[in-house]
Chain A
Amino acid sequence: MSTFSRRSFLQATGVTAAGLASPIGMPAIVRSAHAASGTVKLGCLFSSSGTMANIEGRLNHVVRMAADEINAKGGVNGRTIEVAVSDPASDWPLYAQVGKQMLEQDKVAALFGCWTSVSRKSVLPVVEQANGLLFYPLHFEGDENSKNIVYVNSPPASSVLPAVDYLMGEEGVSAKRFFMLGSDYVWPRTINKQLKGYWKSKGIPETAWREEYVPLGFSNFQTLVNQIRAFADKGGGKPIVVLTVVGSSIPDFLREFANQGIKATDVPVLGLDMVEADLEGLNTEPLVGHLNCWAYLQNAKSAANKTFLKQWAEYVKAKNVPFKGDVVIDPMVSAYNSVHLWAMAAAKANSFDVLEVRKAFAGLSFDCPSGYKLGMTAENNYVSRGVFIGSVNEKQGFDILWQSKDAPKPVPFSPYG
């Protein structure tokens, strides 16, 4: 080992000192001073890299668009909204890390984030400990009711069960046998658990269903589609596939399904996480008829939707957003709703303090682009949304097969297990 000269010692210490004095270590005083000058910060926890990037990345821009819209009308409580965007890189612990940083260092007034339940569950302890507020825009498995999370989208009772009921009924296909195919994590497992409980309650025997799980990002569905065909041919009633795979597995599965010549009239697929963006790379002619279920579909016929679609298309063009201006998915609309809900609550409470804002949720109502009126109650942090069942069409979109009359009251904890 050579001697360590004074120069190199100084350099080493300097590096360590620089590390400590880096913006992480910068005292919060410097940061919040910036915030106090007429702005309020909102934080985004959506990945722009990694497996979730294609679907989560859009939501950052929607939140920005909503903030711009509110700022144009004068902001909230006299302050303009500033949106801080981060990149948790589809790395679940990094969501927690970045969330903590935003709450404690940047002092954001609210967080908007997470898609997978994994990421939400890793941010949950952070928001609870730091007493922050996370607006979660995805439909999910329910069975959770934290005071620090606002569940802007539907639990299974208003997102999964209506679609399954439809398929099991006369109007649908009188389905009697079910092949559950999901990615291996909490949301599909919980959904399938609840579905099994529901079917048991209807007297359907255990032999009528089958469960298979694949890793996240799985793409080689040849054998599984063979198994689905074998399951379908066994007879005993009309079979359907309940698809809870997520991300790039959805188009891979649909492609293999079509290639093996199975049509929706033979074995319909209910893709519970399937959005318009998943059909972007596919030829959907052989896939016409497969179903999904969300609180918003792009083809919803309402004036508010027309306005929203135009707004998004113009925003994409104006700000050079790297996503398509003619594709709008439910989580985007839910993120948009979240920002407005927060702004309304903050205005109603005339404060940005989390406790005050939370008290202001009760009785809030907002006109969602889906055409329904969103509502919140004092009971919990769930938002009531309408229900759409969509059917794949040849133009890589969804036609509206059925929609609920109004926005049913959300049920946080499923009675079916």
Chain B
Amino acid sequence: MLYIFSGYPGKALPAGMAHLHAGGLRHCIKEVEHLAELEEDPMIQYVKEGVYACPVGGNEGEWLGPVEYRLSPILDKDGITWKIFPEHWTFGNNVTCTNWTANRETMEVDYRTGIPFADLLASGHPIDMSKVMIQRVPRITESWKEYEKRWFPGTCPQESHKVHLTYVITKGEMEPWAYERVRRLIEERDAAVVDLDRYRPEHFSVSRKWTHPKKPGLDFEKLLRGRN
């Protein structure tokens, strides 16, 4: 049974805080709180098209049956449905905290004509730069269009973004209380880890915020006021 949750344990924590990674969550489910029997058979691989008995370390061997899955309610709210996974998307087995990024490309165009600035330069004609107004606009690529189709209509963020998901694959269906406990551990910030002494440091990752290079110090207010 494939369970898909939104985010990963500790996603909302500030930088520097320790949180469970996939190995820590596995330890919690299997060894500490005994919440479910995880699917750990190396032959078993969950793929969108079904469950496969694959060669060790391989991919999509014998088809064993369709995937039974359950998406967390919060995913539905975000517009993430089963359709968001493309063909041959692989969930593996056991526990996985995965993420993907979608980059919204931009380009600079001449505000008046809509001609891409790069095309203007490539034309080889002299350009009076004082008469060109540049606007940065989204560049809708074919890959973005295809990506957007995977979301529930109208829910795909119209900017670069990340999607964090956690897969938990069990041998059978989890008990409701166990499911709720796992869901809270992953999706709710205040869900505390119990019996902390039964964990080791290698069960945790440290939250980290990636710092983007400093933005330029343009005085936009002054620019908006115009000249003189």
A binds B: no
Residues on A lying within 8 angstroms of B by beta carbon are none
